[in-house]
């Protein structure tokens, strides 16, 4: 079913893609453009259509697609770590010693924590990382909107 262009709250959509709580599921309403939340603490939504929801944990992948809802799969830790790897390889402004430490952290036992610790101790690198990460997140969102065949009435609000 083809829908007319919708106005999307890009910040809300970005928040849904950056969701870290596995018990919360977001979807975009294909008619209104609103980003909705389902999950723990949203009991009233579950009562509206009990047959549609499982009582246990839910993920966006387990949700049935329909003509009015586009479920959002948040960016995974694995995807974010892949972005870190590309950041380390692509960031010419990083000192070689820092690049080596980040690369070693990616190959370690707990890469997400190790990378975060290194970045927290290097404010300039941390700022570069968050700019790079935001660009990758925005690319992922725009790709998802395109893949879903969603017509938007206004482009994203990010640069």
79-109 confidence digits (pLDDT tens): 999 999 999 888 878 899 999 999 999 998 9
pLDDT of residue 52: 41
Our count of domains for the chain comes to: 2
pLDDT band at residue 111 using 50, 70 and 90 as cut-offs: very high
Q: Give me the chain's average pLDDT, please.
A: 84
Measured in degrees and rounded to the nearest 5, phi and psi for residue 102 equal: -65, -40
pLDDT of residue 58: 42
Range of 24's domain?
Answer: 10-74
Interatomic CA distance for residues 25 and 144, integer angstroms: 16
Interatomic CA distance for residues 137 and 132, integer angstroms: 9
Q: Considering the entire predicted model, what is its pTM?
A: 0.79
Sequence-distant (6+) residues with CB within 8 A of 124 are 93
Domain presence at residue 90: yes
Same domain, 85 and 70: no
pLDDT of residue 61: 42
Burial class (CB in 10 A: 0-12, 13-18, 19+), 130: exposed
């Amino acid at each position: 079913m083809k829908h007319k262009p919708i106005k999307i709250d890009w910040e809300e959509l970005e928040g849904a893609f950056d969701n870290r709580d596995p018990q919360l599921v977001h979807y975009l309403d294909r008619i209104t453009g609103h980003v909705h939340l389902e999950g723990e603490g949203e009991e009233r939504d579950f009562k509206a259509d009990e047959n549609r929801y499982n009582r246990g944990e839910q993920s966006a992948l387990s949700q049935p697609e329909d003509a009015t809802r586009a479920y959002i799969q948040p960016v995974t830790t694995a995807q974010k770590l892949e972005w870190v790897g590309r950041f380390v390889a692509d960031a010419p402004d990083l000192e070689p010693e820092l690049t080596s430490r980040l690369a070693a952290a990616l190959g370690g036992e707990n890469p997400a924590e190790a990378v975060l610790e290194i970045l927290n101790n290097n404010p300039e690198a941390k700022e570069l990382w968050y700019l790079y990460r935001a660009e990758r997140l925005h690319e992922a969102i725009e790709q998802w909107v395109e893949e879903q065949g969603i017509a938007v009435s206004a482009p994203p609000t990010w640069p």
